[in-house]
Amino acid sequence: MKTLYRNARVIDGSGSTLEDHGILVNNERVECLAPMATFEGFTGETVELMGKTLLPGLIDCHVHLLSGGEANPKAVVDKMSPGEIAIRGLLHARNSVLGGITALRDCGGRDFLEFSVRDACNRGDFSGPTIRAAGQMICMTGGHGNSNGRVADGVDEVVKAVREQIHAGCDLVKIMATGGVMTPGVNPEDAHYSAEEMAAGISEGHRFHKKSASHAQGSQGILNAVHGGIDSIEHGIFMTEECVEEMLKRGTYLVPTLSAVVNILKGADQGIPSYVVEKSLRVAEFHRKSIMMFYKAGGKIAMGTDAGTPFNIHGKNAEELANMVELGISPMDSIVFSTAHGADLIGLEEEGRVRDGAMADLLVVDGNPLEDIRMIADSANHYLVLKRGKPITGSWKLGSSPALALAAAQ
């Protein structure tokens, strides 16, 4: 089925804005993006987008689908059966796409249950984003994430752990370079794996064509991961000028996950474990300064939220764009980081940009997000979400388009 989306302002994901354009969608793909005059005489299904903005669907490069954003997510999941955990993962995936997230990267689950969620969504059996999943987080004995991760010590054991993730069917390898906020008894500033262990795990993943991401908050752990060839640094809280320089030299991405600390501090008096709040208070200002230092230096950033951590809710991922803009990142850059850069980082060549031949994973919002980022950040201002050309949700009017009404209902 062909549908023409008329008279839109188009933010293409690569940094350009096109006024009064039409987007012809043919089944799953964008067939033609062009000025409206190109479509004179078109008689098929149409959707009027005058005064609205069309952009690529958003891409969240760091979520945990099996965690639900409770005050203590681990305590909740620990009481659930494997079936219950998988079902909630599917619900979180659905809520994500309803909130404008058309692709995401799960950066650590439990017992590979998230793989079934990934496969169901990627096959189209269940409404959700395109999903890439890491499997088990690889961490040292007593390290960050050790209660659910694959504990491995020493070069040989780290290599074996990476091979296990690949054998299980991972899309990327997640290695924990430092301590973190959500694990009791660890210091976010401490480097956990040695430089040799990090390099061995990253290299083994790359040998089998798997990108790697590293939870890395302290500066020495960041450097260990970057020197080892990591593809993306997650969080990057205690970055130094040396960290920035080394990342720029290698083209390493930063995935800031501002929403994680922001939401913990917002919900600090609502039952979050005290050690989580205390560490969040300590790292918050360092985090903001590090992100802006990297941004001002021209580093490559991709949007990520850490959705699933306390009060960081699947479906509200787009709030990360408001967090970025509030920090000092321009609205256009926040959009590029959340679309094209995300696609590049997680290897989605046909997503993240509005262009001829691309997958029709699209978000339409009210107004102009370059003037008010809340048009994207607040899902109440979302007019329409398309996944593979199919309307998923929105406040748009179906009107005299029975074919689109049927597509949205299915």
| Residue range 144-202, pLDDT digits in tens | 999 999 999 999 999 999 999 999 999 999 999 999 999 999 999 999 999 999 999 99
Q: How confident is the model at residue 125, as a pLDDT?
A: 95
SS (H, E, C) 280-347: HHHHHHHHHHHHHHHHHCCCCECCCCCECECCCCCCCCCHHHHHHHHHCCCHHHHHHHCCHHHHHHHC
pLDDT value of residue 399: 40
Report pLDDT for 314: 98
Residue ranges of the chain with per-residue pLDDT less than 50: 397-410
Closest residue by Cα to residue 217 from 248, 265, 257, 161: 257
- CA-to-CA dists, residue 410 to 25, 127, 390, 391, angstroms: 18, 10, 9, 9
The first and second tokens of residue 243, run together, are: 């960290």
Say if CB 115 and CB 169 are below 8 A apart: yes
Quick check: 283 and 248 in contact, CB under 8 A?
Answer: no
For residue 1, the model assigns a pLDDT of 83
- Sort strands 101-106 and 130-133 into parallel, antiparallel or unpaired: parallel
Can you give the pLDDT at residue 394? 63
Report the C-alpha gap between 215 and 218 in whole angstroms. 10
Q: Which residues lie below 8 Å from residue 79, measured CB to CB, with a gap of 6+?
A: none
Residue 344, both tokens: 């590049």
What is residue 393's predicted lDDT score, i.e. its pLDDT? Answer: 79
Tokens found for residue 273: 């474990």
Q: List all residues 6 or more positions away from 172 whose beta carbon is below 8 Å from its beta carbon.
A: 105, 132, 133, 134, 205, 210, 211, 212, 213, 231, 346
The predicted pLDDT at position 395 comes to 59
Instruction: Provide the pLDDT for residue 410.
Output: 46
Per-residue pLDDT at 400:
37
What the chain holds in terms of domains, given with CATH numbers, is 2-56+353-409 (2.30.40.10), 58-317 (3.20.20.140)
Q: According to the model, what pLDDT value does residue 217 have?
A: 98
Helix (H) or strand (E) holding 386: strand 382-387
The tens digit of pLDDT for each residue in 47-104 reads 999 999 999 999 999 999 999 999 999 999 999 999 999 999 999 999 999 999 999 9
